[in-house]
Amino acid sequence: MVYKAIYMHNFSKTLIFFLTLVVFIPSMAVGQSGQISGDPIDPLTTMQIPKRSQINNASSRPNASAGGERAMMVGPVLHDQSELVNYPAQGFGGADASGTTGNLFGYTSSTSSNIRTADDIVVPPGEKWLIDSIEFIHYQTGSGTASTINDMRMQIIKGSTPVTASVVYGDLTTNRLHLSSFTGIYRVQPPTFTAVTRPVMKSSVVTSGLTLSAGTYWIEYMAGGTLTSGPFVPQRTLGTTHISTGNGYQYNGGWVMVTELNTTGSNPQPKGFPLIVYGVSAEDKAAEVNGIKYNTLQDAINAATMDGTVVTLLKDVDEASASIGPFSIIIDGDIYGCKLNQLNITNGKYLKWIQNTLMVTGSINNNSSGILWNNAIVTCSNFINTGIYKGTGNFNGNLANNNLILPGN
């Protein structure tokens, strides 16, 4: 994979130099307050210039099986936010350069300090992603072009932000590194495009068997290396000016949204992190009505055109709520079940549940003259019924507040 090149525009910036190796910048805190940790712009140190032959893909492979070579990146690409190069072929020896646009070379993402970075991916409704591998970007200052990255910790969490998300895959204790090698890119401070202190590495994690349904997820990760510097993650680089490039987060005792100041120490802009997700996308519809498949159960219910319309589940459904109306609905679970936080049945309509299990973790609101018709298994701890309950199925819960219970089918 050649990382995306964003062609440069003419610009002039005043550079601010810091003498520390790690900078802490106040940031907009989300949840617990914290500070951003990163690699600040500082005077470039002198180091030995590598020979042209050293610019190669020398790799670190602590978890690669003997005799079982696997490509660094396994396609096709599901999600690509790999923008990093903004000065193509202007680096040392004609290499690509990723030039800073603010006051940081990159952000700390380190196992030794337990500082983690995260960025989001969104699986669209009606799809599921079968993820094969994920590629991450790091560097350690002064590494040379042989990768010093020897550890990758990663987990995937689901939620609107990392603060409220829950883990669905992985952990932060297992070293999942598969391969790590030089990208052919140097992270530099313009106009010193040929600096070689920060060769950028790509590191892959194999995630065979990982399937994500529709929703927002955060890939949370950190790396370890053989040097004391970092590791650091360079921010996504879109052009040569100081602009927003994403919505990354960093955990440094608490989650904070990542921002970067410009070279004069003002104008904070949100930043994202470069990564690539590989795998395939598959159809993942929830239910079918009259031969048409729908992304959600509620969409299928809304597609009904007459009382007694049959809605067939195509998978185990887990949704916030469902409302029956304006037409009565028969739901055929077949081998699949349904989990809802809340179920509402409109006045004068019925929900007939056949096959498998309907679980409502919140309440079933069966309104006046509405009918819950259960011929399978319904579980609910809070059944608010002013209508009718009937059927031959099993009800797990409290029916004491029912208006009317009819025996049989």
Distance of alpha carbon 338 from alpha carbon 240, whole angstroms: 50
Over the stretch 276-319, which tens digit does the pLDDT of each residue have?
Answer: 999 999 999 999 999 999 999 999 999 999 999 999 999 999 89
Mean pLDDT of 351-376: 88
Residue that finishes a domain, picked among 282, 298, 326? 282
* The last residue of a domain, from among 217, 252, 282: 282
Q: Are residues 240 and 291 in the same domain?
A: no
The reply to whether 274 falls in a domain is yes
* C-beta atoms surrounding 157 within 10 Å: 21
Same domain, 156 and 267: yes
Residue at which a domain ends, from 282, 306, 336: 282
Q: For residues 335 and 242, state if they share a domain.
A: no
Alpha helical stretches, state H, 223-351:
297-302
Peptide bond into 326 cis (omega under 30): yes
Average pLDDT (70-74) is 43
104-108/292-294 β-pairing: unpaired
Same domain, 177 and 309: no
Check if the beta carbon of residue 93 is closer than 8 Å to that of residue 33: no
Q: Would you state the pLDDT for residue 44?
A: 37
pLDDT at 409 over 80: no
Q: Is 118 part of any domain? A: yes
Cis peptide before 191 (omega within 30 of 0): yes
Q: Are residues 293 and 357 in the same domain?
A: yes
Q: What is the pLDDT of residues 204-261, one digit of tens each?
A: 999 988 999 999 999 999 999 999 999 999 999 999 999 999 999 999 999 999 999 9
Closest CA to 26 of 232, 260, 241: 260
**Residue 3 included in any domain:** no
Higher pLDDT among residues 289 and 388, named by residue: 289
Q: Which residue has the higher pLDDT, 299 or 61?
A: 299
**Owner of token pair 């004068």:** 348
The verdict on 260 and 317 lying in the same domain is: no
Asked if the structure places residue 5 within a domain, the reply is: no
CB 274 within 8 A of CB 82: yes
Q: Is the pLDDT assigned to residue 13 strictly greater than 90?
A: no
**Is the same domain home to 264 and 250?**
yes
The three-state secondary structure class of 93 is helix
Residue 292 sits in the same domain as residue 157: no
Residue 55 lies in a domain: yes
205 within some domain: yes
223 — phi, psi (to 5°)?
-130, 160
Q: Which secondary structure element, helix H or strand E, spans residue 329, and what is its range?
A: strand 329-332
Looking at the structure of the chain, the number of domains it has is 2
| 356 and 236 both lie in a single domain | no
Res. 51: pLDDT tops 90 = no
* Token representation of residue 4: 């995306």
What is the pTM (predicted TM-score) of this model?
Answer: 0.76
Residue 144 falls within a domain, yes or no? yes
The CA-to-CA distance between both ends of the chain, in Å, stands at 61
Looking at the fold, whether 163 and 239 belong to one and the same domain comes out as yes
Query: At CB < 8 A and 24+ separation, what contacts does 385-394 make?
Result: 387/345, 387/347, 391/352, 391/353, 393/353
Tell me: do 197 and 223 sit in the same domain: yes
Which pLDDT value is given to residue 3?
A: 54
User: Are 265 and 290 found together in one domain?
Assistant: no
Task: List the domain range (segments joined by +) for residue 151.
Answer: 23-62+72-282
Please tell me which residue, 58 or 381, carries the higher pLDDT value. 381
